[in-house]
A = this chain, B = another copy of it.
Amino acid sequence: MIGVDWGTTSLRAYRLGPDGAVLDRCEARLGILAVPPGGFAEVLREVAGPWIAAGERRILLCGMVGSRQGWVEAPYLPCPAGLADLARATIPLPFPAAEARLVPGLSCRDRHGVPEVMRGEETEILGAAEATGAAEATFCLPGSHAKWARWRDGAVLGFTTHLTGEAFAALSAHTILARMLDAGAPHHAGGFARGVRRAQQGGGLLHHLFGLRAAALFGEIAEAEAASFLSGLLIGHEVAAALEEGVSPPVILVGAGPLVARYGAALDLFGVPHRAAAPEAAARGLHRIAEHLP
C-alpha cells in the first residue's frame, strides 16, 4: 500500500510492505499551502505514480490534506477513537488511478468544554502506540501547535494543544525581545535550562517574558543564550500546564530532531520520565489503520 502524510508545509509518502515495512519513500516541500486549487490529484499522481505503476492499488492519506484548505474536508472524529474507528471514518477521494482514502482528524473537548482538534497527529499517535507495550500512555508531539494526548487500551481519549512554537516565533520577532535575541542562534543548553527553571517559578508567563528583557538590561543573560532561554520558558510553561492537568506515565515523545530533544530536556528538569517513540510513526499509523479498512 501507499501511505501519505500530507501536512501544511510538507508531504511525506511511503510505499509500505504487507508487514508495514517502509519499502520506499518520497518527501517534498509540497504542503497543502503549495498546491493550487484543484491540484491535489495531480500532485498525488506525480508522487505515487511510480508505485502505482509497480502495482500498488491502495492509498491512505492523513494530515491537513483533509482540512477545509485541503483536498476534501473530512469531518473530525470525536474522541475516544482507535484504529478501527479511524478506519471506519475514512472517506474516499476522487482519484481514478487507485483506491485513495482519507483519515479524518480527531476532536475532543477539554474539561471546560473548549474544543480541540488535530489532523495527522492521530495517525502518528496510533502508529507510535503499537510499540509502547503499555496499556496507558501520554503522547507528546512537539511543534508549532504542540499536542499532548492521553491514550489507553488502543484509543486516543483526549488531548490538548499548546500554541508554543507559534508563540515563540511571534514573541521573539515582534516584541521588545527581538532587540536582544537572535531567534536563529545555535541552541544554548544552559540558557534553555534557565528558561525551563524560570517557568517552574510563580509569577506567570507574561511576567517571565518581561524578566528576560530586564535580565538583559542588567547584563544577567548573554545574547547567545537569550533565544534558548525564551524557548525553555515557553516549553517549560507548556510542560507545567500539561502536568497540572494530569499526565499518565510513560510520556512518549513523538518526532525527531532538535525540538523533540528540547522537550526531553525540559521533561528531565521536571523529573518526568519519558522515552522516544519508534521512528516513522506516521507510516506505521497509516499501515495499522489500513489493516482495519473493510
Contacts and interface: CB of A to CB of B under 8 A. Distances in A.
Contacts of A110: 203, 207, 211
A217 B174 contact: no
A203 B173 contact: no
A194 B94 CA distance: 42
A145 B176 CA distance: 10
Interface in A108-146: 110, 112, 114-117, 145
A204 interface: yes
B114 A215 contact: yes
Interface residues of A, number: 46
Copies in the complex: 2
A244 B204 CA distance: 9
B206 A162 contact: yes
Contacts of A215: 114-115
A78 to B, nearest CB: 12
B114 A198 contact: yes
A163 interface: yes
A207 B218 CA distance: 32
Contacts of A145: 176, 210
Interface string A161-184: 111101101110111100000000
Interface stretch (A43-51, A232-240, A258-266): A232-240
